[in-house]
Structure 1
Amino acid sequence: MKVIINPKYNHLEESIRQIPDLFEGQGRVLYARRNLIKEMVLEDSLLINVKRYGIPGLINRIAYSFFRKPKGERAFVYPQILLQKGFETPEPIAYIEFRKSGLIEYSYFVSMQCPYQRNFYEFGNADPTSDECADVIQAFACYTASLHENGILHRDYSPGNILFDKVGDSYHFSLVDLNRMTFGEVSVEAGCANFARLWGQKQFFVQLAKAYAAARHWDEAYCVERVLFYRKVFWSRYQKRHELKFHLEL
């Protein structure tokens, strides 16, 4: 068993090493598909989030065992980069990995539990002209622009991976599921394409693109056109293979 622990939590090493044994019978399930996510309590009543990654297919098992960092290890490393740059994400606690005959099997990413209760699924059929929705769009566009200007591109910028809440008079955002990240200059094309996976009506994206363009001092009409283009490409393909859970207007 390979265990990497954030030095801040070295005093919890014994409890952290017990997580795989306790995982099946304890905790509250938050997500259960190929990967399983649970909310658990570590010693001293510390509320944590534990994501167990399913065993990859053979080709990916070989790749993650010898050529690429496994998803869970990347999910442990990348949040530290965001936190250093001043962006919110649940603090990583540990990465745990099991192998058999040299090939990766189950792995676990352990982090603090994010306190924010809202995510972007709620905007699927929302009215973007409502005061609150408009405020969230403006704040989120500025937040995303800041991420991009700091060389951070979340490649799975989907509704469930963006958590937020209003804290005082302003909206705060926290990113999760960070195993797919790119760091470096974010071009206008990459920036506009980054919104494609989000839920929402066409006008939601028009407002988002305008606010994003203003924040990055780019041409508004061009950004609107590109945001809508990449959104249409993604959702035109997606709806052919999946049932949609919101009204899609392309």
Structure 2
Amino acid sequence: MIIINNKYNSQRDFIRSIPHIIENEGTLIQDARNLIKQLVMPDGMEINVKRYHAPRWLNILVYSLSLRQPKGLRAYKYAGILQSKGISTPEPIAYLEERKAHILRLSYFISAQCPYRHDFYELGDAPAALYEPIVAPFAQFTAHIHDQGVLHRDFSPGNILWQQTDDGEYHFTIVDINRMYFGHVDINRGCANFARLWGPKRFIIMIVREYARLRHFDPDEAERIALTHRAAFWQRFSRRHPIKFHLEL
């Protein structure tokens, strides 16, 4: 199965060959459960290829029988939905999947390579001079996403990329979008969405209170909800993993 954004039909032959190309070519970004590589198409465009690992156990049936759409297909479709709502995410280029006897093996989501070089991991122990200018534009970015009836269910530091332009403006985009919620985002859902972010407690509070102002929520209640979910998340996380920034709950 192959789905190609009409804008990139001229690159169809190259796109079809990507499963073979990434075995030996491309710049490695991640090689863990899923493989992510950066490639350059024949027309010079930089693209991002994410290969999702073969499903296991019960998920083999779930995905192979189309009881649930494969992650790569969801990412491709969701990217189009987000862009139609004015939410920044890399442009979807194609989706490919490999099956054997109708059993889903590997799937691929291909998108434009995002030029933003910063993520929220960098803000874990950031000084106020670095994080304060980000507060208002990031709160506005998140409020817009939620106002559009969209919630990223993995709103974590590595999935939020940002860049500051030469004129001082901040721009953000979201990646790894195969897990999304579409529907009304109320104060509880919205404020809980900040739980996984890295950064000083004051930074998180400033974001949440500005977000509450933009969405006409009570700022004190928004702060309470956000910090409650933040504490619960990081307490669970710390039982299994070391925390790599100074965490103040």
Q: Smaller-chain TM-score range?
A: over 0.9
Shift of 1:169: 3.3
Runs of 4+ in 1 over 4 A off after TM superposition: none
- Secondary structure of the corresponding residue to residue 115 of structure 1: coil
What amino acid maps onto 1:140 in structure 2? F
- Determine which of 136, 160, 163 is the counterpart of 1:162: 160
Unaligned runs of 5+ in 2: none
Distance 2:15 2:146 in 1: 34
CA shift, 1:209, in A, is: 1.2
1:69 paired to 2:73: no
Q: Does residue 84 of the first structure (1) align with residue 84 of the second (2)?
A: yes
State the Cα distance separating 1:26 from its structure 2 match: 0.2
Q: 1:137 aligns with which of 125, 132, 135?
A: 135
In structure 1, the residue matched to 2:55 is 56
Aligned equivalent of 2:233: 234
Aligned AA (1:82): L
Deviations 1:22-48 (A, max 9, x none): 111000111111001000111111110
Equivalent residues in 2 for 1:154-193, closer than 5 Å:
154-167=152-165, 168-193=167-192
Count matched residues.
247
Residues in 1 aligned to 2:54 and 2:135: alpha-carbon distance in whole angstroms: 38
Structure-to-structure mapping, 1:146-161, within 5 angstroms: 146-161=144-159
AA in 2 matched with 1:72: G
Question: Whole-Å Cα distance in 1 between the matches of residues 63 and 154 of structure 2?
Answer: 19
Match of 2:41 in 1: 42
Superposition map of 1:87-126 within 5 A: 87-126=87-126
Identity of aligned residues (%): 49
**TM-score in terms of structure 1 length:** 0.96
Using the size of structure 2 for normalisation, the TM-score is 0.97
Counterpart Cα distance in 2 of 1:180 and 1:204:
26
- After superposition, what is the alpha-carbon deviation per residue over 1:57-84, rounded to whole angstroms, capped at 9, x for unaligned? 1211211122000000001000111111
Partner of 1:32: 31
Q: Which whole-Å CA distance do the structure 2 matches of 1:125 and 1:64 have between them?
A: 40
Structure 2 CA distance for aligned equivalents of residues 97 and 8 of structure 1:
20
Shift of 1:5: 0.5
Q: Which secondary structure does the structure 2 equivalent of 1:44 belong to?
A: coil
After TM superposition, the structure 1 stretch with the greater mean CA deviation from structure 2, 2-11 or 165-174, is 165-174
Between the aligned partners of 2:40 and 2:239, the Cα distance in structure 1 is 41
Unaligned 5+ segments in structure 1 are none
Partner residue, 2:10: 11
Residue 187 of structure 1, CA deviation: 0.8
Letter in 1 for 2:232: V
Q: Which deviates more, 52-61 or 13-22?
A: 52-61
Q: Provide, for residues 181-231 of structure 1, a one-character-per-residue CA deviation record: whole Å limited to 9, x for no partner.
A: 111110100000101111112111111111111111110110111110000
Q: Distance between the aligned counterparts of 1:244 and 1:183, measured in 2?
A: 31
SS of 2:239's partner is: helix
Letter in 1 for 2:159: N
What is the identity, as a one-letter code, of the residue corresponding to 2:243?
A: L
Equivalent position amino acid for 1:135 in 2:
P
